[in-house]
A and B are shown apart, each in its own frame.
Chain A
Amino acid sequence: MGEHAVVIQIEVNGIEHRVHASTSDTLLDLLRGKLGLKGVKRGCSAGQCGSCTVILDGKAVNACLVPAVRANGKHVTTVEGLEGVDGPHPLQEEFERNGTVQCGFCTSGMLMSAKALLDSNPNPDRNKIKEALSGNLCRCTGYKKIIDAVEAASKSELPPARAPMTRN
């Protein structure tokens, strides 16, 4: 099965794109390479570290495991799309406080897993937060301040989750 070129239509952070890609490209290749969204981090290319987590039609996924063609017709939110016109997302505000972020390489993925959680469950308890972030590895922090930040964000007024993309 050889690889061949395809055209992928995808909405990323509210902007519609038509992108030429290869069937061997992953969503991570497409976002980082073709669309220049460098906030999406490559940590393992095997779905084991969570650094490349993005939200694909409402679900947190490892972009390195999703073939780019599977994202055709879907919409994606990356860390670059987290800040709204009204300012930063409450998660970003909480992550900026209290030393939550150290090296920051896992941060984009953490934020996206946390956002997917809060979009579906605005009042998670600590165990739910831990579960939702269990696929996002961090070697710097010991996770405590991250879990604290997600918990604090859940107590503030959350912006509505984006409606699924409607196609005409």
Chain B
Amino acid sequence: MKQTFNVVGRSHPRHEVGDKVRGKAVYTDDLEFPNMAYGAILRSPYPRARVVEIDASEARVLPGVLGVLLPKDVPQKPYNCSGNPPSPLAIQDERVLTDHPLHVGDRIAAVAATSTELCQKALSLISVDYEPLPPVLDLDEAISETSPVLHPEIGPTNIFNKIEADQGDVEKGFAASDLVLEDLFETPGIFHVCMETVCCICDFTRKNDLVVWSNSQTPFQERRILSKIVGLPESRVRIVKPIMGGGFGARQQLHNQVVGALLSRLVKRPIKILNTREEEMVGTCVRHASKCRVKMGVSKEGRIQAFQAEVHHNCGPYATHSPIVLAAQSRKVPYRVPHYRYEGYCVYTDYPVAGAMRGYGNPQLSFAREVLLDRAARKLNMDPIQFRMENRIFPGDTVPGSPLVLQSCAIKECIEAGEEIRNRIDRQEEANPQKNSADIVERWGMALAMHTSGASNNTGMSSAVIIIHDDGSATLLTGSADMGQGSETALTQIVAEVLGVELVDVRVTAADTLHTPYETGSFASSQAYVAGHAVHAAAMDVIERTRTSLAARYEVETDHVVFENHRFSINSTEKPISLTFKKAISKTHFGETGTVVTGRSSFKASHSAPPFAACWAKVAFDRLTNSIEVRHVIEVVDVGTAINPDIVTGQIEGGISMGLGYALMEDLEVDSRVSKPLTNDLLAYKIPSTVDMPEIHTHIVSSFEPSGPLGAKSVGEMTVIPVAPAIVNAVVAATGEDISQLPLSKYFNIKRPL
């Protein structure tokens, strides 16, 4: 099945990198427009309160203030901000501006002014009389019978959704098991920390046209939701995504665009709103904090018989993505599990709003599962890696809890390649031993992960148009939003591969709802697979249409025009003809039979091929100081065909650093006395910096996904998932202590690597 490629499978630099290293790349906040003014949002200082009265009279008369919006001035119909295709799971419970704030940072009012400084001054002049209400911050408290109910209009308790998945009969499975283990695992809320904060410019100065430039992962979903709120047909709303400074899921939802649009309509000027870092941390979204109760039954031979998970997610006060996160979480088990049960609960609290974040529920449950797996292996005196190898899922297997049948899986190859790297590291270190004191214990830990290529409920859709120019070069139009991961470059590689042209001959216009065709969006690691399929099909359409044009040009049947090995050949003419793509276009574009070739496609996913990752961590535990130091992380992936290996290793390395933060140090803290987030800047909330990183080692195994475009699966999110459990398993091995909570800074001092 393995194919050889010319452009795909090679590490071409991403097309916009020259601009990025010269400061020329245009991000949203770099854009300026004539007569543009600024907007800012007044956010609740209380986690739960009622606004008794708002007086904005002083703000309104401040010179330079153009307008003020209060809750009464904006549509009050609840909406769901999440950038998902329409779904009954997208519960509508959020308002543009609210007089019943439900978290610190909730939107109360907004101002427009001629400068950002004046905006801040105007906000300080709005006087709000709040009646603070007792906040519900803790999961257990929120589900207790005595808890205030945050959304009585949605349901009678704070549990607002339940997701279940079932396969076999877990009770039978546990009864048939020789060893049954159970524990409660807790994971913290964490932040995405995109280096670029949320920014939008909204131009609603024409009555029936709204244009929004924003860092959006899902421009088409945001167009649909925004058009409903502002009362325009979708055709009159245009969303443009400039170059984007990171996404990680945080941009798969509307943030300030609604307020920006309404301010712009009010003051008749384009309005820019840029989040401060503090707003980014209290007023956008976070990874769900969770409590996962997991139970596993294993036979004495080391076969998993049953796995059961009951998960409560701290969703914050608005539903956003939550039920969909849970549904996705239930389908990510890379093992053969005859009896499987998943129960997930969405719980409202006054904690920061939870939304989409890289992994979408998978990191929480994978942490619990992989740590429990190690415990089971230890109890059975089995090597945890061998234990995983023997229970792994195979092509042809159905993914537990889902109808998805695997078509490719190279877990075995990932484990073998990673073990080789691990042995090499150990040999090197044995040859040059570090002077470890007798108090230091070094151990390895390991974990597996499986993720998805596109939404695992197969709702992924994409389409593409390829315009062929008279010189045979191409412009790809795709709705796909590159958030920095390099998807635009990977997609142009697919076009160049199919047409047999140089990469430099393919340019791309992306993620502009007026000029590019529909796409569900950049989430669920869709780009290589879902967008990749659409782009591949459009390129094949170009080939078909070029064959037709050549047939007309040379007056032969289309069947006689064959495209093979990147050349068109016609053998029925007097002299056989063999043409490259560009040469063919030079023959068909002009002249009597002149035709302009454009290719197009529509792709609807019917599969969501899981990619796989195996991850190892080597940790040193110092008994004297109770400190841990992560010295090495290895991650090996099966992503099918790696369209651009440098982009893939970039995703792995970035995933390792995000996973390291999750394992060691990242923790969204809310002060229990004042009920306010403590971690509202990058001093209080630390993400890994250069000096926190261990040695990292990556590898991509050779693999081919039969259902993928040119054999590709996706990579982005998966890479973060196995990192925290691998580190924790190493720490458990080194310390002998069972661990059931993240981050590890709760248990140990964290030492930076040498």
> Using Cβ atoms and an 8 Å threshold, which residues of chain A touch B688?
142
Mask, B334-365, CB within 8 Å of A = 1, is 00000000000000000000000000000000
Binds B, one of A4-12, A44-52, A66-74, A160-168: A44-52
Assuming the contacts A95-B21, A142-B653, asked whether A103 and B484 have C-beta atoms less than 8 A apart, the reply is: yes
Mask, A141-154, CB within 8 Å of B = 1, is 11111110000000
B277 to A, closest residue via Cβ: A44
On whether the beta carbons of A142 and B681 are closer than 8 Å, the reply is no
**Residues of A that sit less than 8 Å from B by CB:** 24, 37-46, 48-49, 51, 78-80, 82-83, 88, 91-92, 95-99, 101-108, 111, 129-131, 133-147
On whether the beta carbons of A143 and B690 are closer than 8 Å, the reply is yes
Min CB–CB distance B528 → chain A (angstroms): 15
Residue among B244, B653, B683 facing the most chain A CB atoms (10 A cut-off): B653
Assuming the contacts A44-B681, A144-B693, asked whether A139 and B23 have C-beta atoms less than 8 A apart, the reply is: no
> Using Cβ atoms and an 8 Å threshold, which residues of chain B touch A99?
11, 13-14, 486, 644, 646-647, 649-650
Assuming the contacts A104-B245, A137-B682, asked whether A37 and B696 have C-beta atoms less than 8 A apart, the reply is: no
> Using Cβ atoms and an 8 Å threshold, which residues of chain B touch A96?
13, 17-18, 21
> Using Cβ atoms and an 8 Å threshold, which residues of chain B touch A37?
23
On whether the beta carbons of A43 and B650 are closer than 8 Å, the reply is no
Interface of A, helix, strand, loop or mixed by DSSP: loop
B29 to A, closest residue via Cβ: A42
On whether the beta carbons of B195 and A141 are closer than 8 Å, the reply is no
> Using Cβ atoms and an 8 Å threshold, which residues of chain A touch B30?
38
> Using Cβ atoms and an 8 Å threshold, which residues of chain B touch A97?
13
> Using Cβ atoms and an 8 Å threshold, which residues of chain B touch A146?
690
Enumerate the 9 nearest inter-chain pairs by beta-carbon distance, A residue then B residue, closest first: A39-B23, A103-B484, A105-B245, A99-B646, A142-B653, A104-B20, A142-B657, A79-B23, A48-B682
On whether the beta carbons of A101 and B11 are closer than 8 Å, the reply is no
Identify which of residues 646-663 in chain B touch chain A, using a CB-to-CB cut-off of 8 Å: 646-647, 649-650, 652-658
Assuming the contacts A99-B650, A107-B21, asked whether A139 and B683 have C-beta atoms less than 8 A apart, the reply is: no
Min CB–CB distance B697 → chain A (angstroms): 9
Q: List 7 A-B contacts (CB under 8 A).
A: A38-B26, A43-B277, A80-B22, A102-B484, A104-B16, A105-B195, A135-B689
On whether the beta carbons of A46 and B22 are closer than 8 Å, the reply is no
Mask, B683-703, CB within 8 Å of A = 1, is 100011111010010000000
> Using Cβ atoms and an 8 Å threshold, which residues of chain A touch B696?
142, 144
> Using Cβ atoms and an 8 Å threshold, which residues of chain B touch A139?
192-195, 246, 248, 654, 657-658, 687
A131 to B, closest residue via Cβ: B691
Residue among B27, B245, B486, B652 facing the most chain A CB atoms (10 A cut-off): B245
Tally B residues with Cβ within 8 Å of A.
Answer: 58
A105 to B, closest residue via Cβ: B245
On whether the beta carbons of A141 and B20 are closer than 8 Å, the reply is no
A38 to B, closest residue via Cβ: B30
Min CB–CB distance B527 → chain A (angstroms): 13
B379 interface residue, CB < 8 Å from A?
no
CA distance A104 to B650 in the complex (A): 13
CA distance A79 to B138 in the complex (A): 46
On whether the beta carbons of B657 and A141 are closer than 8 Å, the reply is yes
Mask, B235-250, CB within 8 Å of A = 1, is 0000000011111100
Mask, B185-214, CB within 8 Å of A = 1, is 000000011111100000000000000000
Assuming the contacts A96-B17, A105-B245, A139-B194, asked whether A46 and B277 have C-beta atoms less than 8 A apart, the reply is: yes
On whether the beta carbons of B683 and A88 are closer than 8 Å, the reply is no
> Using Cβ atoms and an 8 Å threshold, which residues of chain B touch A95?
17, 21
Min CB–CB distance B123 → chain A (angstroms): 16
> Using Cβ atoms and an 8 Å threshold, which residues of chain A touch B245?
41, 103-105
CA distance A83 to B25 in the complex (A): 15
Identify which of residues 474-514 in chain B touch chain A, using a CB-to-CB cut-off of 8 Å: 483-486
Min CB–CB distance B378 → chain A (angstroms): 30
Assuming the contacts A41-B195, A142-B656, asked whether A111 and B246 have C-beta atoms less than 8 A apart, the reply is: no
On whether the beta carbons of A92 and B22 are closer than 8 Å, the reply is yes
Contact of A101 among B14, B23, B655, B691 (CB under 8 A): B14
> Using Cβ atoms and an 8 Å threshold, which residues of chain A touch B515?
none
On whether the beta carbons of A103 and B22 are closer than 8 Å, the reply is no
B746 interface residue, CB < 8 Å from A?
no
B162 interface residue, CB < 8 Å from A?
no
Identify which of residues 218-255 in chain B touch chain A, using a CB-to-CB cut-off of 8 Å: 243-248
> Using Cβ atoms and an 8 Å threshold, which residues of chain B touch A130?
690-691, 693
- Given contacts A48-B277, A136-B690, A145-B650, could you give 5 more A-B pairs where the C-beta distance is less than 8 Å? A41-B27, A49-B682, A80-B22, A104-B243, A105-B484
On whether the beta carbons of B689 and A137 are closer than 8 Å, the reply is yes
B24 interface residue, CB < 8 Å from A?
yes
On whether the beta carbons of A134 and B689 are closer than 8 Å, the reply is yes
On whether the beta carbons of A78 and B647 are closer than 8 Å, the reply is no
CA distance A102 to B650 in the complex (A): 8
Residue among A41, A96, A99 facing the most chain B CB atoms (10 A cut-off): A99
